[in-house]
């Protein structure tokens, strides 16, 4: 498996030979920021097209097929149209909070996006408390949603923001408990170490037996709720709240919310593929050296993207199969079922680790 840290170290040494250390760090920071922004935009376009086609498949229709071959240019046309739209200033809004909210949501999304391990040595943020950092920065997004509802000074956005705040804060508990379950198995919170361990010993979803599988299923349910996606899309229920917390937004301010929603879907899937499915680590089967050699020949970034888009498909399958729930049912599902099951599952994983029953 190729280690991308060789390239990053070579670039760092090259810059140090040309400019002072502070300038080298500044240039590297700008390059990393440009990479994050580029990947953020590219994956948003891919996910929007993928969602439309999968939605069409589940509803027995074609999806976008007019603009470009197979409708490939439809998303670009929509982006161009969005960029031309005027940002309308609504009267009697809290202008500062109203304009600040989209940037909170996008910033939280980008910080979490930067934590994903794309390949061996190809991660932008890798702290020894990586899982804790992901939980911390991802929760900042709900602040932007609450600011959007409050700053709009309108009843529909306010109700949508209150729903979203209650829903996201509730389901963060199940997300945190499932991650804690896998931390109990791996013994570390550092993202790179979690993936390295799975590359050496096998994917966590297989190593952790039943508790890991239960945690994965709970994560799939809570992950969709965290992203405000169906059947948990009550914060922006069109039939009740017009567009929820972004009803009063237009132009690229609305585009930022739209962008963050799809990237949060990719981030949730990327985290699932990292802590459950081995991230960039290839699939190995004990005793099949030839098969393992072929798997090792596939680049790590291909493994990571393949697993991530597989989880994205599971999220989309969940959205386009199940009907929208009432807000009280959504909260009951979390507090009465998912959280108690997650806590019991954490205890079960602790027993598995204590008695060394993992593979």
- The pTM assigned to this predicted structure is 0.90
Token duo for residue 158: 């306010």
Residue 205 has which token pair? Answer: 């979803």
Residues 124-140 as b or e (16 or more Cβ within 10 Å = b):
bbeeeebbebbbebbbe
**Tell me, what's the pLDDT at 199?**
87
Where residue 242 falls (left for φ over 0; alpha for ψ -120 to 50; beta otherwise) is: left
Q: Distances from the Cα of 289 to the Cαs of 2, 203, 215, 284, in angstroms?
A: 19, 17, 30, 8
What is the maximum alpha-carbon separation in the chain?
Answer: 69
pLDDT in single tens digits along all 359 residues of the chain: 677 888 888 888 888 888 888 888 899 889 888 988 888 888 988 998 998 899 888 888 888 888 888 888 888 888 888 888 877 777 777 788 888 888 888 888 888 998 899 988 888 888 888 899 998 998 888 888 888 888 888 888 888 888 888 888 889 999 999 999 999 999 899 998 999 998 888 899 988 889 999 999 999 999 988 888 878 877 676 666 666 777 788 788 888 888 888 888 999 999 999 999 988 889 888 778 888 888 888 888 999 999 999 999 999 998 888 888 888 888 899 999 999 999 999 999 999 898 887 76
Between CA 65 and CA 61 the distance in angstroms is 10
Encoded tokens for 25: 């760090």
Question: How far is 341 from 354, CA to CA, in rounded Å?
Answer: 20
């Amino acid at each position: 498996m190729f280690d991308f840290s060789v390239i990053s170290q070579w670039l760092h040494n090259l810059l140090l030979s040309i400019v002072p250390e502070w300038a080298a760090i500044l240039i590297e920071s700008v390059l990393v920021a440009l990479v994050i922004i580029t990947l953020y935009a590219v994956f948003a376009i891919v996910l929007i097209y993928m969602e439309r086609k999968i939605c069409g498949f589940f509803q027995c229709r074609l999806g976008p097929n007019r603009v470009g071959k197979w409708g490939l240019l439809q998303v670009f046309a929509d982006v161009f149209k969005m960029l031309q739209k005027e940002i309308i200033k609504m009267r009697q809004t809290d202008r500062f909070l109203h304009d600040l909210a989209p940037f909170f949501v996008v910033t939280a999304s980008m910080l979490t996006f930067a934590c994903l391990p794309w390949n061996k040595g190809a991660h932008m943020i890798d702290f020894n408390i990586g899982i804790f950092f992901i939980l911390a920065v991802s929760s900042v997004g709900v602040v932007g949603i609450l600011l959007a509802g409050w700053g709009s000074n309108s009843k529909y956005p306010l109700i949508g923001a209150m729903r979203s705040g209650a829903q996201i804060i509730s389901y963060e508990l199940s997300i945190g408990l499932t991650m804690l379950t896998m931390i109990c198995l791996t013994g570390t919170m550092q993202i790179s170490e979690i993936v390295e361990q799975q590359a050496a010993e096998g994917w966590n979803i297989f190593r952790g037996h039943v508790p890991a599988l239960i945690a994965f299923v709970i994560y799939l349910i809570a992950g969709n709720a965290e992203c405000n996606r169906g059947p948990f899309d009550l914060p922006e229920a069109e039939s009740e709240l017009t567009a929820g917390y972004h009803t009063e937004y237009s132009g690229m301010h609305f585009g930022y919310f739209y962008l963050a929603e799809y990237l949060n879907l990719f981030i949730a899937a990327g985290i699932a593929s990292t802590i459950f499915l081995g991230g960039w680590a290839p699939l190995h089967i004990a005793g099949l050296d030839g098969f393992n050699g072929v798997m090792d020949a596939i680049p790590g970034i291909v493994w990571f993207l393949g697993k991530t888009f597989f989880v994205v498909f599971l999220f989309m399958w969940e959205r386009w199969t199940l009907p929208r729930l009432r807000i009280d049912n959504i909260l009951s599902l979390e507090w009465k079922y998912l959280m108690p099951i997650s806590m019991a599952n954490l205890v079960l994983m602790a027993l598995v680790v204590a008695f060394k029953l993992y593979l």
